[in-house]
Amino acid sequence: MLLDERRNAKGEVLLNQYPLKGGKTSLGIHPGLHKFTLQAPGYVTAEWSLNADPSSTHQHTFKREPEKKPEAAPAKPTVSLGSSTADITTPSEPAKRRTPASVYVGLAATGVFAAAGTVTGIIALGKNKDYDNAVAARSEDAYSIKKSGQTYALLADIGFGAAILSAGVTAYLYITAPKVAPEKPRSASIHLSPTVSPSAAGLAVSGKF
C-alpha cells in the first residue's frame, strides 16, 4: 500500500491510498508538496518526500528492508544446589520430681513449730529476768516466777524440737516423692531445596513436624 499525503491551497491535509500490484505503479499527482509512505507486511515503513512542479515527472524506488524480529531473550540458567534432608529430634527433658501435698503441709507445720518455739523462748528469757529481779528484791513470787520460766523454756525446747523433726520428715517426703515420666521426644523431618538464578535466589523448605 502506497500512501500519498499532501496539503492543498487551503491548508487541508489530503490522504490518498494506492494499492500496489507487482511492486510498481504510475500515478498522476497534483503539484505541490507530497509525502509518500510505503507500507508492506513484514517490512520497515519507507518514506519519500517530493515537491512536484506543474507538468513535472518523477521516479522513485523504495528500498524495502525486512523488519527485525526481536531476539528471544536467552533463558536464564537455574542452578540447583541439590537438596538435603535433616531429621531434627527435640531432646527429651529430664524427669521432674512431683511435690506431694504432704510436703507443703510439713513446711507449714515446721514454720508453726519454729514460730511457737521462738515466742515461748522470748517469754522464757523475760521470766528469767523477772526471777532475777524478784530474788534481788526478796519477793515471795520468785519461786512461782522461776517455775513459770522453766515451763516456757520447756515449751520453747519442744517447739524447736518439733520444728526440727517436721523439717526432717518434710525433707524425706520430698526426696522420696515419685518422679514424673518425661514426655516422649518429638521429631521433625525437614527437606531443603535451594535454587539460584542470575536474578533471584530461593530456598524451598518442606517437612513434617
pLDDT in tens, 40-92: 888 899 999 988 888 889 998 888 888 887 777 666 655 454 555 555 555 55
Same domain for 102 and 48: no
Pairing of strands 84-89, 13-18: unpaired
Query: Is there a domain that residue 107 lies in?
Result: yes
Q: Which three cell numbers stand for residue 199?
A: 536474578
Cα torsion 39, 41, 62, 21 to 10°: value is -90
Same domain for 161 and 105: yes
Q: Which three cell numbers stand for residue 137?
A: 528484791
Query: Is there a domain that residue 110 lies in?
Result: yes
Inter-CA distances, 51 with 3, 9, 32, 57, 79, Å: 16, 14, 5, 11, 62
Residue pLDDT, tens place only, 120-178: 888 888 888 888 887 777 777 788 888 888 888 888 888 888 888 888 888 887 788 77
Query: Is there a domain that residue 151 lies in?
Result: yes
Instruction: Give me the domain span that covers residue 32.
Output: 2-52
Domain count, the chain: 2
Query: Is there a domain that residue 13 lies in?
Result: yes
Same domain for 112 and 42: no
Query: Is there a domain that residue 126 lies in?
Result: yes
Query: Is there a domain that residue 104 lies in?
Result: yes
Query: Is there a domain that residue 61 lies in?
Result: no
Same domain for 115 and 44: no
Same domain for 102 and 166: yes
Mean pLDDT check: name the lowest of 98-112, 114-128, 189-203. 189-203
Furthest-apart CA pair in the chain: how many Å? 167
Query: Is there a domain that residue 86 lies in?
Result: no
